[in-house]
Amino acid sequence: VKDMATALFLMLASAAVGQALLGAERVSHAQNSVVATLNAVYTIGGTDFGFGVEAAALSPTKRMEILIFGKDGIVRLLKGFGRGPQILKVMGKQVPQWGFSGRKVAYSHNGTAALTCDDACALWSMKSQTLIDVWEFDGVCLISFSPTRERFLISAEDNTVEVRSASTGDRILKVGGYAMPVRKAVFSPRAERILLVRRDEPCVEVWDIETREVTRLYFSDTDTDPEVSVLANKMKTKPFYFNSAVFAPDGEQILTVHPDRTFKVWDSRGGKLLRSKKTLDDLLSAAFSPSGEQILTVDKGGARVWNTTTSDVIASLRWPDDEEPSTAHFSPDGERVLMARHSSAALWDARTGERLATLEGHTGDLRSAEFSADG
């Protein structure tokens, strides 16, 4: 029991760090691990959960406060951890839906609010542990709280994206008219803008939440690319021109990754393309270092660190067998990279590419690996 409790704590702590610092897309894998662990540990310290867990999130501010969305549709708050849960409070029950989009849970950056979503979305006050409001959708594919300010966004299966107040639930912005749902969306560091990766058009949109002005970053001037279009025709679907898109730490630049093995850096205000780098790798994602001076690209054979200004390679992080990683992230000081694959992870020097340590002994596939907030 003690070992299981320790394992649960470590997984939840990892999810909390991801949720507080990294945003919804990167934390989803860690939260999947949390759910799997909660379902595996039916009895902790002699307390029987007695229900299946479909989604869960750890408060970023309160030690071992877990919000659980059960398979029975009931939202519960689990408080305290030692020999077992000290408090398991029923917050409420959401009306059962078809659940095609899957259940989701997220905390605000300061832990004062939370969202639980399936085909409806409920906003909770975590101070009073009461329901603030609930909205029905045809399905919810993405939820995310802003890193600062009291805001959150909902991307729905009806091809709309809404930004709402985390304290009142009031809608601040709604955009739509797309032909496909938006499955990748992030706030800017100061939460005054949102970045949407469109799947129906070869562009990324940057919306100013207050002025409702939009800046579009297009994949190419012709809106077509032979290499990408051929791939799309084979898949019998529209081409996805952007694999990922993220803001720089200061919010002034945007980094995008494309299926033609390029990554690009844009001016986030005017939409001007600043730099484009063609690589030899099938790129999966990319991120800025905490200082914004380096770029980490993740590909099917490992990862590379680049100079943001010159686009020169600083370090190549490769396993001997060039196996595809599941995740790779900078340390908080930008000096190291943590990369995971299958049942092992490794720590690398971001300047030299030297492998500093190999973290082995996992019995299953690793879907997420994160640094703690202090590195």
**What's residue 81's pLDDT?**
53
Give residue-wise pLDDT tens across range 220-276.
Answer: 634 444 344 333 333 333 445 788 899 999 999 999 998 889 999 999 998 889 999
Give residue-wise pLDDT tens across range 272-281.
Answer: 899 999 999 8
Q: Which of 3 and 60 is assigned the larger pLDDT?
A: 60
Q: Which of 1 and 74 is assigned the larger pLDDT?
A: 74
With beta carbons less than 8 A apart as the criterion, state whether 343 and 362 touch: yes
With beta carbons less than 8 A apart as the criterion, state whether 295 and 273 touch: no
207 has pLDDT over 50: yes
Q: Output the CA–CA distances (angstroms, integers) from residue 39 to 53, 69, 209, in the order listed.
A: 6, 12, 39
Helix axes 2-21, 24-40, angle to 10 degrees: 160
- Give the chain's end-to-end CA distance (angstroms, integer): 29
Closest CA to 190 of 275, 109, 285: 109
Mean pLDDT of the 314-324 span: 84
pLDDT grade for 120, boundaries at 50, 70 and 90 = confident
Overall CATH class of domain 279-374: mainly beta
Domain extents in the chain: 279-374
- How much helix, strand and coil, in percent to the nearest 5, is found in the chain? 15, 40, 45
Q: Output the CA–CA distances (angstroms, integers) from residue 320 to 297, 301, 315, 355, in the order listed.
A: 18, 9, 15, 11
| Cα(373)–Cα(371) distance, integer angstroms | 6
Which of helix, strand or coil describes residue 347? strand
pLDDT grade for 123, boundaries at 50, 70 and 90 = very high
Buried b (16+ CB within 10 A) or exposed e, 261-292: bebbbbebeebeeebebebebebbbbbbbbeb
**What's residue 34's pLDDT?**
45
- What length does the chain have? 375
164 has pLDDT over 60: yes
**For 64, how many CA atoms within 13 A lie in the half-sphere containing its CB?**
16
| Paired tokens of 148 | 């600062």
**What's residue 55's pLDDT?**
80
Contacts of 354 (CB under 8 A, 6+ apart): 348
Contacts of 315 (CB under 8 A, 6+ apart): 304, 305, 348, 349, 350, 351, 352, 353
Residue at 145: amino acid letter? F
Phi/psi-derived region of residue 358, left when phi > 0, alpha when psi is between -120 and 50, beta in every other case: beta
pLDDT grade for 67, boundaries at 50, 70 and 90 = confident
| Cα(295)–Cα(297) distance, integer angstroms | 6
With beta carbons less than 8 A apart as the criterion, state whether 286 and 184 touch: no
Q: Output the CA–CA distances (angstroms, integers) from residue 142 to 34, 336, 372, in the order listed.
A: 18, 30, 25
Strand partners, 135: 121
With beta carbons less than 8 A apart as the criterion, state whether 321 and 338 touch: no
Scan for tokens 């542990």, then name that residue: 129
**For 209, how many CA atoms within 13 A lie in the half-sphere containing its CB?**
24
